[in-house]
Chain A
Amino acid sequence: MKTIKTLLCATAIAALSTTAFARDLVMNANTSDPAQKEAMENLIADFEAAYPEIDVKFNLYDHEAFKVALRNFLVSDAPDLITWNAGNRMKVFVDLGLFEDVSDVWASENLYEQMPAVVGASSVDGKQYGVPYAYYAWGFYYRKDLFEQAGITETPSTWEEFKEMGAQLNAADITPVTIGTKNLWPTAGWFDFLNLRVNGADFHADLMDGKIKYTDERVKKVFEIWEELVEADFFVENHPAYSFQEALPFMNQGKAAMYLLAPFIVSMFPDDVREQVEWFPFPIIDESVGIYEDAPTDSFHIPVNAKNKDDARLFLKFAAAAENQTKTAGTLDMLPPNINASVKDDRFAQGGFAQLSKADGIMQFYDRDTDPALAKVGMQGFQEFLQHPDRIDDILERIEVERARIYGAL
């Protein structure tokens, strides 16, 4: 019965595609931030203008609900297109055979040359399974006026300078860093950068792949360095009570000077505060280690069970085109993966772009690079560490138990 239905659908679509009737293209998305919503709506409107015979049916989900729904609709009644993330998150579904191989789109549009930065993250075993529409840099968003108030004239580029800066801010009664750890992931930004700066990208990648014990001395070293900041009162108090967003008032009210975060924070500053906000990259800790950055990548994918893959491919090609990437990434305050697209002309996008351009390598993000269960246990550990640095040995033992359960004993 089902095959008949599929056959009927297929013939119907084939018949329709040769005529001028509207073809439905169903897209399920998790882009529920205000800027994301706008960017997607614009992209779809432009696409429909370019292909008037295609009617895009857009089903928007909030981010958490999407994770629930995703594994339901991928195996049952799949849409033609979805938004998701490159890297390990994509690989999970590729390994299950649920994402369509879209290497043909990469080849026909010559995306290998146009999107060099994201080829790796979009590939599994040399084949591409998605087309990125935006990626972004992480770094410190800081308030220039508060820095000046504390007598800081230059942003820190080394670890010593960074710690000195913190001391100066604290002396001026300003908490150096705000962070909300209720959603856990803001802690992972810190861990990623510290580990990348101390141990480098190869080590970090191995750790993400479960090939290194969390009780390893090199991991402990990372927490020793992190502890220097905790002990020096770098972070706001009671951070587990705040979501990422609820920790922002500290900065907006001038009680805290900076936030290690990504471009989606920019639209959250009130206008008068935003004028004062600038950006600097995570400082160097060890000169001998290269510059490695987190650059999470968001992308479109076609489910294997999609009904209208032809039009879905048309959409991927459209979304990959330079001028559309410029527009989409610009609305998002993020970076277009296509090198022929132009980066939004503001200090945050340009700063992030410059930093990523000189990076020796990029990772996605802790909870996108490692097993989701391990990521959860790990980030809970980071949160506990920030509250109780003295418990670090217990915490690492616990994370190691989870790592060993997933990846096996070492």
Chain B
Amino acid sequence: MFPRPIQESSKSRQLMYKVALPISLVIWLLPMIAIVATAGRSLHDINYGNYWGIPSEWAFLDNFGEVFSSSPILIYLLNSVIITVPSIFGALFLSTLAGAGLALYKFKGRFVIFALFIAGNFVPFQILMIPVRQLTLDLGIYDTYLAVILFQVAFQTGFCTFFMRNFIADLPFELVESARSEGVSEWKILIHVIIPLVRPALAALAVLQFTFIWNDFFWPLILIQSDELRPITLGLTTLKGQYISSFNLLAAGSLIAALPPVMMFFAMQRHFIAGLTLGASKG
């Protein structure tokens, strides 16, 4: 383990670490604290320029109540789940296959294909707006969950393939070779040798993807117009007015929207951080 476990160092250093940890956390989260405080301010405080001082009154209940009453936020949250979860599974499935295909086999043209997957990631994606909208219209899926899901799967597959290919390429290749020499089929090598080894990477990737897809509001904006299909990020933008933005409600809403990804991270970190070591290092 690196760095050396703090338990192995002197008592005073352990104490220092335990003090430093919360202090650094507070500094790191200072902007976050400001967001929380903003969620508890009244709009008049904000219009008065009181961004950092003690609010004249705490308005947490009012603001969160307003967010819940002014928009069907629970439906938006549900929509976010409906869009995000299948997108993640789709992208992870396709990219694990493709990543393995690119990492475990040497055939001509693999770098070209790999390059295409990476290159697609680099495009300023807003420019794809009109062609992609047209595509979903042609496929007859405009203004459905499926339109957003399919696009997210396809678009995120680029990044995921890049990610998975690199992790798989880092695995000890001897494992694959020995399995092959024993006549194990390629498909079974993938299922029984590769996937168990890349589980931490898959878990990490799932968290990242959850965050990306959950937070995206551009594609739902382009591909969905019915209010009842909107994910939370898009639903919350209506708190931004033409002239007047309810910054306090925006902050409150964004805290609600940020909770699922953080909870996901908390739940998944066991799989990719705490304790589980990547098999590769032992091989």
- Known A60-B227, A68-B221; contact A34-B47, beta-carbon cutoff 8 A: no
Partner of B227, one of A58, A243, A253: A58
Contact, CB under 8 Å: A245 / B227: no
- Can you give 9 contacting A-B residue pairs, CB < 8 Å? A31-B242, A36-B241, A57-B227, A62-B239, A68-B222, A72-B222, A76-B137, A76-B142, A245-B244
Most buried by B among A57, A79, A270: A270
Task: With CB as the reference atom, state the residue of chain B lying closest to A251.
Answer: B47
Most buried by A among B49, B243, B244: B243
Contact, CB under 8 Å: A252 / B237: no
Q: How close is A182's CB to chain B, nearest CB, in angstroms? A: 12
Besides the known contacts A32-B239, A72-B130, 18 further A-B residue pairs in the complex with CB atoms under 8 A apart? A28-B225, A31-B242, A33-B244, A59-B227, A61-B221, A62-B240, A65-B234, A65-B237, A68-B129, A69-B222, A73-B225, A243-B245, A248-B47, A249-B47, A252-B49, A253-B48, A253-B49, A268-B244
Q: Which chain B residues in 217-254 approach chain A with CB under 8 Å?
A: 217, 221-222, 225-227, 234, 237-246
Chain B residues, CB < 8 A from A33: 241-244
Contact, CB under 8 Å: B47 / A269: yes
User: Complex Cα distance A311/B215, Å?
Assistant: 37
User: Complex Cα distance A77/B129, Å?
Assistant: 15
Chain A residues, CB < 8 A from B244: 33-35, 245, 264, 267-268
Contact, CB under 8 Å: A62 / B237: yes
Number of residues from B at the complex interface, CB < 8 A: 28
- List the interface of chain A (C-beta within 8 A of B): 28, 30-37, 57-65, 68-69, 72-73, 76-77, 79, 243-245, 248-250, 252-253, 264-265, 267-270
Chain B residues, CB < 8 A from A64: 240
Contact, CB under 8 Å: B129 / A34: no
- The proximity string for B residues 88-126 relative to A, scoring 1 for CB distances below 8 Å and 0 otherwise, is 000000000000000000000000000000000000000
User: Complex Cα distance A73/B130, Å?
Assistant: 11
Most buried by B among A32, A77, A252: A32
Chain B residues, CB < 8 A from A268: 47, 244
User: Complex Cα distance A64/B239, Å?
Assistant: 12
Contact, CB under 8 Å: A62 / B238: yes
Q: How close is A195's CB to chain B, nearest CB, in angstroms? A: 23
User: Complex Cα distance A73/B142, Å?
Assistant: 10
Chain A residues, CB < 8 A from B238: 32, 37, 60-62
Most buried by B among A34, A35, A57, A252: A34
User: Complex Cα distance A63/B245, Å?
Assistant: 11
- Known A57-B227, A60-B238; contact A69-B221, beta-carbon cutoff 8 A: yes
Chain A residues, CB < 8 A from B239: 32, 62
User: Complex Cα distance A250/B130, Å?
Assistant: 42
Let me know if B192 is at the binding interface, CB within 8 A. Answer: no
Chain B residues, CB < 8 A from A32: 238-242
Q: Which chain B residues in 123-140 approach chain A with CB under 8 Å?
A: 129-130, 133, 137
Let me know if B188 is at the binding interface, CB within 8 A. Answer: no
Let me know if B44 is at the binding interface, CB within 8 A. Answer: yes
User: Complex Cα distance A270/B240, Å?
Assistant: 20
Contact, CB under 8 Å: A69 / B242: no
Q: How close is B240's CB to chain A, nearest CB, in angstroms? A: 4
Q: Which chain B residues in 179-220 approach chain A with CB under 8 Å?
A: 217
Contact, CB under 8 Å: A252 / B48: yes
- Known A72-B129, A249-B47; contact A59-B226, beta-carbon cutoff 8 A: yes
